[in-house]
Structure 1
Amino acid sequence: MSTEIRSMTVLPARREDIELHTADGLTLVGELATPVNPDGSPRTPAATLVTLHPLPTHGGYMDSHVLRKASWRLPALADIAVLRFNTRGTSSPRGTSEGAFDEGRAERFDVHAAIEFTEFHDLPHPWLVGWSFGTELTLMHGLDPLIEGAILLSPPLHRATDADLDAWSADGRPLVALIPEHDDYLRPEQARERFARVRQAEIIGVDGAKHLWVGEPSVRRVLNEIVGHVRPDFPLPLPTTWDGPVQQADPEEDR
């Protein structure tokens, strides 16, 4: 029997707690979700998302809802592995990462540790997915040789500079920005102006959306855009029902 995929639906995957170790000596906590076969055995992912959460001083963490729903759905729906973690000094139910928030500066070590994890664990075709503050980390620190491209959700462009944008332009790797129509910081027209210096940037304005991507239509739009860029040959839109076992998360934990 088919089950409708709703906000708290958790589809099958292998989910394991992980630790990342930074070059400046910190341990960060996280989770890796990878695809499984119908019998529960591991399946090799087709691509990997390294996710970077919103601003921790304003409630952002690895469980921020879009990133968590990506980990709940994309391993099963699109064979995509999803790595989530708390940047330095950030807490979630998974635990607290060592260190202290540094306005995006020392967080470069956190980004690099996550990317290195994908290499050491043979996770294929890694893409960065940053949300809000996570987009700043992506733009400032994400041009690692292992990364195939980046997707930005609600980029505020507060910390990232024109020099960071110029570096992405010179590099040429894909850079996609999803800009909510009613964003609090950067709206589609402004984003097109700011990102015009990145020759390969794709700016996607999303009608009706807001910075926090609240609501199932917004989440589904984000996940479809992610899959469409990370796996361009994958048939879209993603299914909205699931034939097989599912779990339901606790609504009290949603954020």
Structure 2
Amino acid sequence: MMPEVMFAGPDGRLEGRYHHAKQPNAPTALILHPHPLHGGTMNNRVVHALYERFRGMGFSTLRFNFRGVGKSQGRYDGGIGEISDATAALDFLQAVNPAASMLWVAGYSFGAYVGMQVLMRRPEMGGFVSISAPASHYDFGFLAPCPCSGLILHGEADELVPEPSVRKLVDKLNTQKGIKIDYRTMPGAGHVYTPEQTEKVAEATQDHVMTVLNRARMSMAAD
């Protein structure tokens, strides 16, 4: 069951797929797709796998098409408008889940860049997942300070974004007070993941997210 949703974006209506969790105060996750000009859509293999995985972990989960992709109105805006699209998607998620226990953003490639930009605009974010973050293409210096900890995963054989550029970003983020980046690399993986590698990406994501959620539950129990 993949309920289609249309919600208001800054440049017209945006098309998404939304799963509403049964728990009243379930955590929420927003999943962001790769570059619109390079065939990125919300049906991308990695995006779909992350959506299913967050759904399986009991999250209210939304994936959507950036402006100009699929049925989403508007046209590509060089990243700036896409960041606004993502914050509009968060507005939608928060409106439908006013009592959400936690807010997560997960993105793949260009979506990872947009997701990390969203972190800076929404201090209430509880965690993030960045898959194949394009650290060699975009300046991630805006993450100063980075508002929350998260997972960064990269293919060791990434031909578009050399792994050392991401490791450098991770090392920089890990020097920040209170920030712990869970950095994982995947041997043999390029920028595009095979179905088998995609499954491993989803497993790593679940491992990270469940660790964070269990820690949060334990500290609430301790209070």
TM over 0.5: yes
Q: 1:197 aligns with which of 155, 165, 172?
A: 172
In 2 relative to 1, CA 230–61 (structure 1 residues): closer, same or farther, beyond 3 Å?
A: same
Residue 132 (str. 1) matches residue 109 (str. 2): yes
Q: Classify the secondary structure of the residue corresponding to 1:60.
A: coil
Q: 1:33 aligns with which of 19, 22, 25?
A: 19
In 2 relative to 1, CA 60–131 (structure 1 residues): closer, same or farther, beyond 3 Å?
A: same
- Kindly indicate which of the two structures has a greater share of residues assigned to helix: 2
- 1:227 corresponds in structure 2 to 206
- 2:49 corresponds in structure 1 to 69
- 1:243 corresponds in structure 2 to none
- 1:145 corresponds in structure 2 to 123
Identify unmatched segments of 5+ residues in structure 2: 215-223
- 2:37 corresponds in structure 1 to 57
**Identity of matched residues, %:** 24
The amino acid across from 1:222 in the alignment is V
In 2 relative to 1, CA 74–194 (structure 1 residues): closer, same or farther, beyond 3 Å?
A: closer
In 2 relative to 1, CA 221–47 (structure 1 residues): closer, same or farther, beyond 3 Å?
A: farther
Show the 5 A alignment for 1:12-31: 14-22=1-9, 24-31=10-17
Report the number of matched residues: 206
Aligned CA-pair RMSD: 2.3
Report the Cα offset of residue 215 of structure 1: 2.1
Larger RCO, structure (CA 8 Å, separation 6 or more): 1
Report the Cα offset of residue 115 of structure 1: 1.1
Asked whether the 8 Å contact 1:62–1:68 carries over to 2, the reply is yes
Q: Classify the secondary structure of the residue corresponding to 1:222.
A: helix
- Rounded to whole Å, the distance in 1 between the matches of 2:20 and 2:43 is 17
Residue 213 (str. 1) matches residue 193 (str. 2): yes
- Rounded to whole Å, the distance in 2 between the matches of 1:155 and 1:25 is 25
TM-score normalised to structure 1 length = 0.72
Q: Classify the secondary structure of the residue corresponding to 1:231.
A: helix
Q: Deviations over 1:13-48 (max 9, x none)?
A: x531112212x352101011245xxxxxx4557432
